[in-house]
Amino acid sequence: MDLIPDCKRKFLCLRWLSVFVVMLMSLAACDSDDGDQNVNRAAPNPYLSSDLYAITHFDSSQSDSTPYGPPAGVFNVDPEKQPVSYGGPINIITLASTGKDYMWGVGTDRVSYIYSGDGQWTTLTSFQALADASDNVLSAIPDDSLRAFGESSAARMDAASMDNYLKSLFGENYAARFGNGTYSVVDKDNVLYANFGKNLYAFELINPDLPYAGIKIRHVLKDIIVKVQGGDPAPPSGTRISSVSMTYDGYVIVGFTNGVAVINRDLNVDSASFYRFGDDEYVSNSLSVDENNGIYVASNKLMRKLVWTGATLSDNESAGAWSCPYDTATELPPIIKFDNGTGSTPTLMGFGGNSDKLVVITDGTKQMKLVAFWRDTIPNGFVQKPGTASRRIAGQIQVTCGFSPLPEWIQSEQSVVVHGYGAFVVNNIPQTVNSDIVNKNKILQVSLMGPAYDSSYGVERFEWDPAADEWYSVWTRSDVSSTSMIPVYSKSGDMALINGYTSNGWEVTGLDWNTGKIVHRTIFGDQNFGNGAYAILQYLKDGDLLFNSIAGPLRVHYGK
């Protein structure tokens, strides 16, 4: 006999269904970063090879945030015993391919295809891109030279001896290798786009089914600056490619030191749309892209949002574009940085319907500030903050890194790490800079800072308060070192990770995201293999460290 009436049965079913839905939503929220599935991550770009690591700074928003990371604890690692894929002398990132067991290595001299499955790290094939672009003026660097440099130490060297050593390994004109392959991207067809010399390349595998068969040039646009920008007026002297990225409708974005171009993936110059900046401006970093093809780029004078319409680059306010000045110094920092403006690639913050949508950088003042700009429409009723250059600036805050009194310089050449409304910044300028390395080339400087000359110290964690529309400092550390490597956030370890030089030599240091307490250390020692020279830290799905060292990316396994 059925003792439950039909109407009550329906009510109970609906009630249990609603409870089940709420439970699922709660589980989903717990699985998201801060209880909001949208606020902490940009929409995936469908034209990239992967949602993670297909582009420098990890994703189109340039978050520098990864779901993976190392275990807590202290680990002493012999870098000579780790598998390595040679390249360099700068290797900013190893990029995701469309195959889960493979990655693209991009160094300043070459591109490589690497097998990463089953815990391995094996170079299958390489293409000497810089030698190709320079007609062998900057010839291929032998692996033995890169290994010799990685296994040696800069301790007890000086600028003159290191300069001679670098010339013996990498050639008399080794400084000209810097800036090649710095920012790159892999598309959904497993085509790698990267700059070498004056050329923009599109690389692909000769045979995707046999990746060890080699890498070939799919497309190349030679003399891209002249071809895209023309000569009337001529580009400023020293103009170069500063970045490579991709729109959400599958066009390649090329950042120059004096502007931005969008071109189709065939690199057909007739498809290019170019937007030129003022000749008194200079862009030294990459750019970020939102899902509506807003392109965010900072020169040493202005923070800009351009909009790719699908046919042209627009700076019209009606399309959502804007430009905004920010504070800069009148002089160039003595080391590490490239100009007197921001050292940051702009990073997007805030996603979802009701969130504050921001783009953040560190400014160019001698004692830098963290600056957030409204990236879309400025909220109604928002009043310009005192001391800001424009109502477009949502908020800014002094970076102190816990120093008191503040040193002459607190400046960074690294982008702001963003997780949710949290931000993390590092200081790259030592309090004392030896005159031996001031105004020297960046490869020389980055090889010596730490083991031979004073290291830089200082980091700070901030949080944006969307209710108050302002920043506040969460914690500071003036006693940890971050020389030149791009820091990252690890979700699995809930930590910020940096690379610097300590009393134990080179190490990767993990700091609890909420407290700043040191919770992880990977200690490499004095060998140059532990120097992450301008590169970015990466972690793989199994928690392995992918350390993009000055001599090539190496893989560190923390298990037994």
Residue pLDDT, tens place only, 244-285: 999 999 999 999 999 999 999 999 999 999 999 999 999 999
Give the whole-angstrom CA distance, residue 362 versus residue 364. 7
**How much is the pLDDT for 352?**
86
The residue assigned the tokens 């503040």 is 406
- Give the H or E element holding residue 6: helix 6-31
The yes-or-no verdict on residue 3 having pLDDT over 90 is no
Q: Are 429 and 368 in contact (CB under 8 A)?
A: no
The yes-or-no verdict on residue 68 having pLDDT over 60 is yes
**How much is the pLDDT for 553?**
98
Instruction: Read off φ and ψ for residue 177, nearest 5 degrees.
Output: -75, -20
**How much is the pLDDT for 353?**
81
The number of beta carbons lying within 10 Å of the beta carbon of residue 61 is: 27
**For residue 469, what are its two tokens?**
């529309």
Instruction: Read off φ and ψ for residue 411, nearest 5 degrees.
Output: -145, 155
**Parallel, antiparallel, or unpaired: how do β-strands 545-549 and 552-556 relate?**
antiparallel
- Please provide the distance, in angstroms rounded to a whole number, between the alpha carbons at the two ends of the chain: 62
Domains of the chain are 36-556 (2.130.10.10)
Instruction: Read off φ and ψ for residue 225, nearest 5 degrees.
Output: -65, -45
Per-residue confidence at 560, pLDDT binned at 50, 70, 90? low
| Pick from 197, 243, 187, 239: nearest CA to 220 | 197
* Beta partners for residue 303, in sequence order: 298, 324
Residue predicted with more confidence, 343 or 17: 343
Q: Is the dihedral of CA 353, 292, 203, 282 positive or negative?
A: negative
| Pick from 65, 62, 121: nearest CA to 548 | 121
The yes-or-no verdict on residue 32 having pLDDT over 80 is no
Give the whole-angstrom CA distance, residue 194 versus residue 108. 10
* Beta partners for residue 114, in sequence order: 103, 123
pLDDT tens digits, residue range 414-462?
A: 999 999 999 999 999 999 999 999 999 999 999 999 999 999 999 999 9
**How much is the pLDDT for 179?**
93
CA distances (Å), origin 160, targets 111, 165, 167, 172, 506: 30, 9, 11, 13, 22
* Beta partners for residue 244, in sequence order: 254
The number of beta carbons lying within 10 Å of the beta carbon of residue 3 is: 5
**How much is the pLDDT for 535?**
98
- In the chain, what percentage of residues exceed pLDDT 70? 93
**How much is the pLDDT for 217?**
98
**How much is the pLDDT for 405?**
96
pTM given for the model: 0.92
Per-residue confidence at 242, pLDDT binned at 50, 70, 90? very high
Average predicted confidence (pLDDT) for the chain: 93
Give the whole-angstrom CA distance, residue 236 versus residue 150. 37
E strands within 48-101? 65-66, 73-76, 93-96
**How much is the pLDDT for 41?**
84
- Our measurement of the distance from residue 422's CA atom to the centroid of its chain's CA atoms, rounded to an integer in Å, reads 17
The number of beta carbons lying within 10 Å of the beta carbon of residue 541 is: 12
**How much is the pLDDT for 188?**
98
CA distances (Å), origin 516, targets 63, 153, 158, 421, 424: 19, 30, 34, 17, 11
**For residue 72, what are its two tokens?**
């807590």
E strands within 48-132? 65-66, 73-76, 93-96, 102-106, 111-115, 122-127
At a CB cut-off of 8 Å and minimum separation 6, what does 109 contact?
87, 88, 89, 128, 129, 130, 131, 138, 140, 141, 177, 180, 181
Q: Are 154 and 524 in contact (CB under 8 A)?
A: no
Per-residue confidence at 36, pLDDT binned at 50, 70, 90? very low
Give the whole-angstrom CA distance, residue 126 versus residue 439. 33
The yes-or-no verdict on residue 19 having pLDDT over 70 is no
Helices of type H across 84-230: 129-133, 143-151, 159-170, 224-229
E strands within 199-256? 199-205, 215-221, 241-246, 252-256
**How much is the pLDDT for 78?**
97
- In the chain, what percentage of residues exceed pLDDT 90? 91
CA distances (Å), origin 496, targets 36, 45, 70, 370, 521: 21, 25, 11, 17, 12
- Characterise 145 by phi-psi region: left (phi > 0), alpha (psi -120 to 50), beta (else): alpha
pLDDT tens digits, residue range 330-346?
A: 999 999 999 999 999 99
Per-residue confidence at 182, pLDDT binned at 50, 70, 90? confident
- Give the H or E element holding residue 23: helix 6-31
pLDDT tens digits, residue range 123-156?
A: 999 999 999 999 999 999 999 999 999 999 999 9
The yes-or-no verdict on residue 28 having pLDDT over 80 is no
**How much is the pLDDT for 275?**
98
pLDDT tens digits, residue range 484-521?
A: 999 999 999 999 999 999 999 999 999 999 999 999 99
- Give the H or E element holding residue 426: strand 422-426
DSSP 8-state secondary structure symbol assigned to residue 456: P
